[in-house]
Structure 1
Amino acid sequence: MTTGGRDIVADAEAGRAVTRRPVWSRDFGLFFVARAVARLGDTMLPVALAAGLLQHGYGAGAVGLAMAATAAAFAGLVVFGGVIADRFSTRKLMIGADLVRLGTQSLAAVLFYSGHVVLWQICAIGFVNGVAGAVFQPGVASTVPRLASDVQGANGAIRIAESSAQLAGPAAAGLLVGFASPGGVFAAHAATYAISALCLLLLRLPAPAADAGTSHHGGSGAFRADLVEGWREFRSRTWLWGVIAIWCVYMIAVWGPTVPLVATEVVQQHGPRAYGLVNSALGAGTVVGGLLALRLRPRRMLRAGAVSLFAFAGFPATVGAGLDVPFMAAGAAVAGAGMSFWGVMWATSVQTQVQPDVLNRIHAYDVAGSLAMMPVGQALAGPAASVVGADHVLLFAGTVSFAIPLAMLSVPAIRNLIRADAPKPITAPGPLHDRSCPEPTT
C-alpha cells in the first residue's frame, strides 16, 4: 500500500522550513474527543435499529428504509450545507446540528421505551438527522487543516479515534439491547451528541486562510454563484470526480446493501451480541488501518488507498457465505483496515489538494457524490434479499468490492496523483515542481 521506503525517507529528509502547528494541542484534543464520541454513538445506531425494529415485527426492508431516510436527506442536502459552511461559522453550525440530533435521538429513545414504534416516525427522525448531518459534515473537512498542518497525521489520529469508538460502540449497544432495550441505545446516542456539542463549544478555531478576494455574503444570487463555483472547482479535478463516479457504484452495489443485510443476517442468526462482536472487529481493523496511515506516507496516496480497498470484500463475503462468527469477525477486521487506510488517503488528498476558500463546498460535493447512491442500495437491499436471498446479495457485494479498486487504478489521474506535501526544491518552482495545479501531469 505504499510506493516504497524511498518516499518516506524523502519526506523525512525534506525537513519543511515552514512553521508547523503540531497535531496535538488543546483544541485538536477537543475536536478529537468530539469526533470519537459522535462516532461511538453512530456505530451503536445500526444495532439499535436492527434489534428494535425486528423486535416490533419489522424486517430487513424496514431496517434498510430507516437507514436510507437518513442517508437520502444527508446526500441530497449536503451540497447546500457546504455553501452555508463557507458563508458562516462552521463551529456554530456543527454545534447547532449536534443539538438538533440530541433532540431527535432523545425522541427516538422515548418511542422505543414506550413501545410505540411506527416505521414512518422512525424514518422521519432519521430524515431530520440526515438534514442536521448535512449541515455538520462540510465543516469537518476545513476544521482539520485549521487545527494541524500535518493533515495526514491529524486524519490518521481522528481515524484511530473513530475506529476505537467503532470497536466499543456495537459491543456496548449489544449489551444495552440485551440487558435493557433498544431505547437505552438511542438515549446513549443522544448523549454522545451532547458531549460533541460541548467539546465544539469549548473549541477555539483559528481563522481560515481564505482568499481575500472571495466573498461569501449576499442574497440568493450569491448563494447560487457559490454553488456554481463549487461545482466548477469540483469538475475541474479529474481525480476527484473520477473517484466519486466509481464510488457511486460502490455505494449502490456494496456498502448500501452490506450495512442493513449484515446487521439483519447476523442479528437473526446469531443474536445482537454476535453482531456487536462482528462490528467491533470491523472497528479493530479500522484502528489498524489508521495506525498504518499514520506511519506510511506514500507519494501517490490514492493509488495506495485503492490497493487497500481490495480488503473490504471480506466483510460481505464471509457473512454471505454463512461462515461462523469468528470468520465473519476476521473478514470484518481485514475490511476495516483497508477501508480505514483508504479513508485517510482520500480525506488528506481532498484537504491538501483543494484551496481553503472552496474546501467546504468541494467536500460537500465529494460527500454528496460519495453517498448519493447509498440510500438506493439500502432501500433495495430488502427487496433484493427477498428475491435472491440475502446471502447471494452479500456475495455479489463481495465480488464488486474487487472491481471497484481495479476501476480506480485504471484511471491515470487517480493512480498518478502526487501528494501535495511532496518534497519541493528551495528554488522557485518550475513546471516540473509546481504543485499548485489541481492535478499532476500524467
Structure 2
Amino acid sequence: MSLLGDAMLPVVTALAVGAIYGVSGVGYVLAVWTAPFVIFVLFGGVFADRVGARTMMVGADVVRIVTQGVLAAAFFAGSPPFWLLLSASFLSGTAAAMFQPGVNGMVPLVATDPQRANGTLKMADAATQVGGPVLAGVLWVVAGAGTVYAVDAGTFLLSGVCLALIRLPVPVRSGRPSTVLRDLRRGWSEFRSRSWMWSVILIWVFFGILVFGPYVPLGSRLIGDRLGDVAYAWVMAGLGAGTVLGGLIAIRLRPSRPLAAGGVAMSGFAFIPLSVALELPLPLLMAGHLVGGMSWAFWSVMWSTSVQTQVAPDVLNRVTAYEVAGSVAGMAVGQALVGPVVEFVDPRALVFVSAVVSVAVCAALLLTRPVRNLRRVPGPR
C-alpha cells in the first residue's frame, strides 16, 4: 500500500503541479522531496537499528497521511500556493527517509530466502507501478488533483495499519553505550569497507543526475504534450508490467555473480529514454518502458539481495541508509537542474543524453572489478 502511494506521487506531481507551475515547478517540488530524503535517510537507518524498523515505518506513514491530506484539502479549495507544495514535499521526503531503510532491513528478519523475497517485493512494486500511475491519471482526469492526493493519503493509512500488525522481536542492543554520531560512524565504516558497494553508488550518482532525476519532469512533458496526460500514466503502467516480468525472472535465476548479471541486464534500461526521445507511438513507448522495467527489476533484486546477504544484520539498516542516500543524491541534483536547463536545451536532446548515459552506466558497472567479481552468498534454491 505504501508503494502504491509512492507510485501515485510522481504522476500527480507531474500533472497537478505542472499544470500550475510548469516543468520547473515539478522539478523543484520533486527535488525538495528528494533532498531531505538524502539528508535524513542516514538518521532513519540509525533509528531503525535502535528502535526497530517497523516502528519507524509506521511513524513515517502517519506523517505522510497528514502531508497528503493537507495537499488534498488545498487542491479541493483551489490552487495551492507554491510554498505549501514545497513544505509538504519536504516533510513527505523526510518521512520517506525514515521509512526506507527498514524496507531492506526487514527482509532478512521475515524471509529465509532473501532473493525470492526481493523478487516478490519487486513484483508487488510492479503491481503498484501498473496500478498507481493509471489510478492517478484517471482520478486526475475524472475528479481532479484533490481526489488523487486524498486517495494517496489513504494508501499510507492502510500501509500503517498493515505494518502495525507485524510483530518482530525487540532489537537486542549491546551493553556498550552508543550515540547517534557513533552509530553513523559505524555505518559509514561498514559502507566504506565494501568497495563493490561504494563503487556502484558512485556510478549511480551520475545516473541520478543525468537519467533518473530529469526523467519524470521531461518524460511527463514530452509524452503528455504529444499524446495527452493519460498516455503518460499508461506508459508508466508499461514500466510496471516490465517490473513484474523482471521480478519473476529474478526469482528463478541465481547467477554466481549477481551484480555482473544485473549490470548486463541494465543495458535494456536505455530503451526508456530512447523511446521518449524518438517520439514513438504509444504502443512502442509502452514496449520500451516494459523492457526497461524488466531490466531495472532484475538489477534491483540482484543489488538488494547482495546488500542483505553481505552485510551483518546489526548494521544493515545503517549501511542501507548510506547506499540509499548515495543512490538518491544524484537524482535530487538532476531534478533541481532540469527546469533551468530546458530553458536553453531542447528537452528531446536531454532525453537522448539520458539514453547514452544509461548505456555508459552499464559499461561502468561491468568494468569495475569489485562489482563484476562479487560472488553470490549461497542460500536456499
The TM-score range, normalised by the shorter chain, is over 0.9
Distance 1:115 1:269 in 2: 27
Judge conservation of contact 2:52–2:170 (CA < 8 Å) in 1. Answer: no
Q: Does 2:265 correspond to 1:265? A: no
Distance 1:283 1:214 in 2: 45
Q: Aligned residues: percent identity?
A: 46
Q: CA deviation at 1:142?
A: 1.4
Distance 2:99 2:294 in 1: 26
Judge conservation of contact 2:113–2:379 (CA < 8 Å) in 1. Answer: no
Letter paired with 1:43: A
Match of 1:52 in 2: 16
Letter paired with 2:129: Q
Match of 2:333 in 1: 376
Judge conservation of contact 1:93–1:136 (CA < 8 Å) in 2. Answer: yes
Match of 1:294 in 2: 251
Question: For structure 1, which segment, 379-388 or 310-319, has the greater mean C-alpha deviation from structure 2 after superposition?
Answer: 379-388
Runs of 4+ in 1 over 3 A off after TM superposition: 212-215
Post-superposition CA distance 1:27-68 (Å, at most 9, x none)? xxxxxxxxxx11112111222112212332x21111111111
Match of 2:342 in 1: 385
Q: Does 2:128 correspond to 1:171? A: no
Judge conservation of contact 2:75–2:145 (CA < 8 Å) in 1. Answer: yes
Q: Does 2:159 correspond to 1:196? A: yes
Distance 2:185 2:18 in 1: 44
TM-score, normalising length: structure 2? 0.97
Letter paired with 1:273: V
Match of 1:67 in 2: 30
Match of 1:126 in 2: 89
Match of 2:196 in 1: 239
| Compared CA separation, residues 324 and 196, structure 1 to 2 (3 A) | same
Gaps of 5+ in 2: none
Match of 2:147 in 1: 184
Identify the match of residue 146 of structure 1 among 109, 133, 136: 109
Identify the match of residue 306 of structure 1 among 223, 246, 263: 263
TM-score, normalising length: structure 1? 0.84
Write out aligned runs for 1:193-342 (5 A).
193-206=156-169, 213=174, 215=176, 218=178, 222-342=179-299
Q: Which secondary structure does the structure 2 equivalent of 1:372 belong to? A: helix
Judge conservation of contact 2:187–2:315 (CA < 8 Å) in 1. Answer: yes
Match of 1:8 in 2: none
Q: Which secondary structure does the structure 1 equivalent of 2:255 belong to? A: coil
Q: CA deviation at 1:206?
A: 4.1
Q: CA deviation at 1:213?
A: 4.5
Distance 2:175 2:214 in 1: 41
Q: Which secondary structure does the structure 2 equivalent of 1:373 belong to? A: helix
Q: Does 2:81 correspond to 1:84? A: no
Distance 2:137 2:79 in 1: 21
Judge conservation of contact 2:14–2:216 (CA < 8 Å) in 1. Answer: no
Q: Does 2:50 correspond to 1:93? A: no
Q: Does 2:5 correspond to 1:41? A: yes
Letter paired with 1:192: T
Match of 1:413 in 2: 370
Letter paired with 1:122: L
Q: Which secondary structure does the structure 1 equivalent of 2:167 belong to? A: coil
Letter paired with 2:95: A
Judge conservation of contact 2:45–2:101 (CA < 8 Å) in 1. Answer: yes
Letter paired with 1:377: G
Q: Which secondary structure does the structure 1 equivalent of 2:343 belong to? A: helix
Identify the match of residue 360 of structure 2 among 403, 408, 423: 403
Q: CA deviation at 1:344?
A: 0.5
Letter paired with 1:133: A
Match of 2:308 in 1: 351
Distance 1:268 1:180 in 2: 21
Letter paired with 1:354: V
Distance 2:231 2:275 in 1: 14
Distance 1:317 1:385 in 2: 18
Q: CA deviation at 1:264?
A: 2.1
Judge conservation of contact 2:269–2:295 (CA < 8 Å) in 1. Answer: yes
| Compared CA separation, residues 203 and 422, structure 1 to 2 (3 A) | closer
Q: CA deviation at 1:207?
A: 5.1
Q: Which has the larger radius of gyration?
A: 1
Letter paired with 2:165: L
Gaps of 5+ in 1: 1-36, 424-442
Post-superposition CA distance 1:134-188 (Å, at most 9, x none)? 1111111111110011000011101101101111111111110111101111111
Distance 1:177 1:213 in 2: 51
Q: CA deviation at 1:90?
A: 1.7
Letter paired with 1:198: V
Judge conservation of contact 1:299–1:422 (CA < 8 Å) in 2. Answer: no
Distance 1:339 1:272 in 2: 24
Q: Which secondary structure does the structure 2 equivalent of 1:388 belong to? A: coil
Distance 2:168 2:222 in 1: 43
| Compared CA separation, residues 214 and 67, structure 1 to 2 (3 A) | farther
Q: CA deviation at 1:85?
A: 1.2
Letter paired with 2:140: V
| Compared CA separation, residues 418 and 207, structure 1 to 2 (3 A) | farther
Q: CA deviation at 1:269?
A: 2.1
Q: CA deviation at 1:112?
A: 1.1
Write out aligned runs for 1:101-112 (5 A).
101-112=64-75
